[in-house]
């Protein structure tokens, strides 16, 4: 006998769970549930049949996968939330009873939690973390530039600024920067790290007013996750560059606004650590080796004494491997790599199986990184940044494209640590963003004065552009976005600026178009002069010859002015203008070719849904063409206004 299925025990009703049901099951508040979902990467789902998933109800409801909620029940962070709730009750009780000593002790021992396990779960490989780095960096740079308030503690802003500087230091050191774009929102940067394109936005340093309708609890949860993730990523990147992470911070320079100069990069040289003769250090290495339970090649357990003898052997200079004592057991390198894999959160899964493959992969990545690094555009020049220019952005671009830190100076108002004085004769490029009178005679030396856009355009074009169009007070050339593929836009029929056409070698088409426009303008101006001498009714009829009412008005006007001869002349002009208008109208609606007729026949065979989709695609193409025509007309108008001035 077939088993009867009960309603709500299978299908969508079992696979989905509402948000209220999830809150009751997890026994958390709505704010804690949102925070938990953000940290774990769980988001609402839309069932195909809402009525079935909601057990017959059609009320608007938010659904989640039941398996995701069951997955959250075993989350350690959930237990940390419960511990914090109990801690808050104890603190409030102690404060209400005026037990200040007990409240202070409770506050010092408040429960803490870590997000390391969540990072390992969400990003099993290093490439996964790099793919999700765009939003993380944009969020960090946003909070690094937001002023502190009741919702944002100063420590959060300081920590975000520190992580941002560490990321920029790595990009500058590896010369991974590829594209820079100055937009209205801020400055867009794009770097290539391990083959992944990472794009982030840096807001301008303006006085900001924090809006009141922003839920900072949600943003702070994302920020907490991103801070932990970027900490892991930077540790991995710095380790591959043989650098100690986190870099040391010179607090005195940091307080004085030194920027990148306040961070000190220290090389992590493993050979120097092995050659140390300190007995205490050797004991620590021996204990660490014993705790890892490394084994000798013969399968026996490696003792601390064996490790000491091996370290002493390695620390001797000039000792070859052939002259080693055969009685000293050799350390199993595979066991060492396996022990290190346990602590490496971002090693690709394909590389963990074989240590040799892992080393080869890292070597290939570093080799690819060095081959594709940014060119050394600014390595031979000395720069000085004026006080009104965004120093951090310009210094970051200059150093990413080869400028030496000792060859970059700035106004003392922008911070300490400048290596070049304003009156230094070695300065080749003075970056300034304000009109200056007699700036050539103001400073000694043979320097060139340019606006900040010259640095960005030169970096995007991978070559040093002429400085004359970028002098202070001059109208700057158009700043084209490097994120737009002009050839692809031209292929699809979109608008491409004249400067991009020149860069692609299409300047002849632009010149011919300008010449044709000038001819049309001359013809229109000549016809306008002739029309000024004619009668207004005749002029209106010639502009719209298809209107019969205008013909009658022109005939009456001609008869009153010139009699029958003028009337005959008006009719001839009307006939010629009408034929020209009809011909122009037919040209706008060309006859269908064989290919067009075949498409029209095939269109009749489409279903209603397919026909709507086809029409939608055609409408989008026509919108692109209309937008192109609008931008072309706007460009012409700007050119005319500029020529008139």
Instruction: Summarize pLDDT for 596-626 with one digit per residue, the tens.
Output: 778 777 878 888 888 888 888 777 777 777 7
Residue 354, pLDDT score: 36
pLDDT tens, residue by residue, 20-69: 999 999 999 999 999 999 999 999 998 888 888 887 787 888 999 999 99
Give the residue from 548, 535, 558 showing the smallest Cα distance to 578.
548
Instruction: Note whether 93 and 131 are within 8 A (CB).
Output: no
Give the residue from 561, 542, 560, 541 showing the smallest Cα distance to 551.
541
Burial of 482 (0-12, 13-18, 19+ CB in 10 A): middle
Torsion from C-alpha of 394, 396, 401, 406, nearest 10 degrees = 90
- Under the banding of pLDDT at 50, 70 and 90, the label for residue 590 is low
Instruction: Note whether 371 and 365 are within 8 A (CB).
Output: no
pLDDT tens, residue by residue, 496-509: 787 777 766 654 44
- Percentage of the chain modeled with pLDDT above 70: 72
Q: In the predicted model, is pLDDT for residue 71 greater than 70?
A: yes
Instruction: Round to whole Å and give the CA distance between 540 and 548.
Output: 11
pLDDT tens, residue by residue, 372-426: 567 788 989 999 999 989 999 999 999 999 999 899 999 888 888 888 888 888 8
Give the residue from 396, 402, 395 showing the smallest Cα distance to 373.
402
Instruction: Note whether 311 and 282 are within 8 A (CB).
Output: yes
Give Cα 578 distance to the centre of its chain: 57
β-strand pairing of 63-65 with 186-193:
unpaired
pLDDT tens, residue by residue, 148-170: 777 788 899 999 999 999 999 99
β-strand pairing of 248-249 with 429-431:
unpaired
């Amino acid at each position: 006998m077939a088993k009867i299925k009960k309603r709500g025990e299978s299908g969508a009703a079992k696979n989905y769970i509402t948000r209220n049901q999830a809150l009751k099951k997890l026994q958390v508040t709505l704010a804690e549930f949102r925070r938990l979902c953000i940290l774990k990467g769980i988001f609402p789902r839309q069932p195909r049949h809402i009525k079935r998933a909601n057990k017959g109800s059609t009320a608007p409801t938010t659904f989640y996968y039941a398996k995701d909620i069951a997955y959250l029940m075993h989350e350690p962070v959930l237990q940390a939330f419960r511990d914090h709730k109990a801690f808050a009750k104890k603190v409030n009780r102690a404060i209400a009873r005026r037990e200040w000593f007990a409240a202070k002790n409770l506050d010092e021992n408040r429960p803490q939690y870590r997000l390391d396990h969540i990072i390992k779960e969400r990003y099993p490989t290093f490439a996964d973390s790099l793919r999700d780095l765009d939003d993380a960096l944009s969020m960090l740079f946003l909070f690094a530039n937001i002023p502190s308030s009741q919702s944002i503690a100063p420590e959060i802003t300081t920590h975000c600024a520190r992580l941002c500087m560490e990321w920029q230091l790595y990009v500058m050191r590896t010369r991974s920067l590829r594209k820079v774009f100055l937009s209205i929102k801020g400055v867009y940067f794009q770097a290539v790290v391990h083959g992944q394109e990472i794009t982030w936005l840096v807001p301008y340093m303006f006085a900001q007013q924090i809006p009141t309708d922003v839920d900072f609890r949600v943003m702070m949860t994302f920020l907490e996750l991103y801070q932990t993730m970027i900490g892991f990523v930077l540790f991995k990147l710095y380790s591959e560059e043989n650098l100690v992470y986190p870099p040391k911070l010179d607090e005195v320079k940091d307080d004085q606004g030194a920027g990148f100069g306040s961070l000190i990069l220290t090389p992590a040289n493993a050979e120097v650590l092995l050659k140390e003769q300190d007995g205490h250090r050797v004991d620590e290495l021996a204990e660490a080796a014993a705790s890892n339970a490394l084994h000798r090649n013969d399968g026996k357990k490696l003792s601390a004494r064996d490790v000491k003898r091996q370290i002493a052997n390695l620390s001797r200079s000039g000792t070859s491997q052939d002259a080693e004592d055969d009685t000293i057991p050799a350390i199993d390198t595979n066991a060492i790599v396996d022990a290190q894999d346990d602590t490496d959160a971002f090693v690709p899964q394909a590389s963990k199986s074989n240590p040799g493959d892992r080393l080869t992969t890292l070597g290939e990545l570093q080799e690819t990184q060095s081959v594709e690094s940014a060119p050394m555009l600014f390595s031979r020049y000395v720069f000085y940044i004026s006080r009104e220019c965004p120093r951090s952005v310009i210094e970051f671009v200059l150093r990413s494209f080869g400028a030496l830190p000792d060859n970059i100076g700035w106004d003392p108002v922008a911070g300490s640590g400048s290596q070049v004085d304003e009156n230094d004769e070695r300065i080749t490029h003075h970056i300034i963003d304000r009109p200056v009178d007699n700036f050539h005679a103001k400073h000694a030396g043979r320097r060139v004065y340019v606006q900040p856009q010259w640095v960005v355009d030169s970096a995007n074009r991978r070559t040093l552009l002429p400085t004359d169009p970028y002098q202070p007070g001059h109208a700057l050339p158009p700043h084209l976005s490097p994120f737009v593929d002009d050839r692809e836009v031209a292929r699809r029929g979109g608008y491409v600026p004249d400067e991009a056409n020149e860069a692609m070698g299409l300047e002849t088409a632009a010149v011919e178009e300008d010449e044709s426009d000038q001819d049309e303008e001359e013809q229109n101006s000549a016809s306008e002069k002739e029309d000024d001498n004619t009668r207004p009714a005749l002029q209106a009829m010639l502009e719209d010859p298809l209107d019969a009412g205008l013909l009658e008005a022109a005939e009456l006007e001609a008869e009153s002015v010139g009699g029958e001869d003028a009337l005959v002349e008006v009719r001839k002009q009307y006939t010629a203008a009408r034929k020209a208008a009809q011909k122009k109208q037919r040209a706008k609606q060309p006859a269908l070719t064989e290919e067009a007729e075949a498409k029209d026949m095939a269109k009749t065979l489409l279903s209603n849904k397919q026909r709507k989709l086809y029409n939608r695609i055609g409408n989008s193409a026509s919108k692109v063409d209309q937008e192109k025509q609008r931008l072309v007309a706007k460009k012409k108008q700007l050119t005319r206004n500029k020529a008139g001035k």
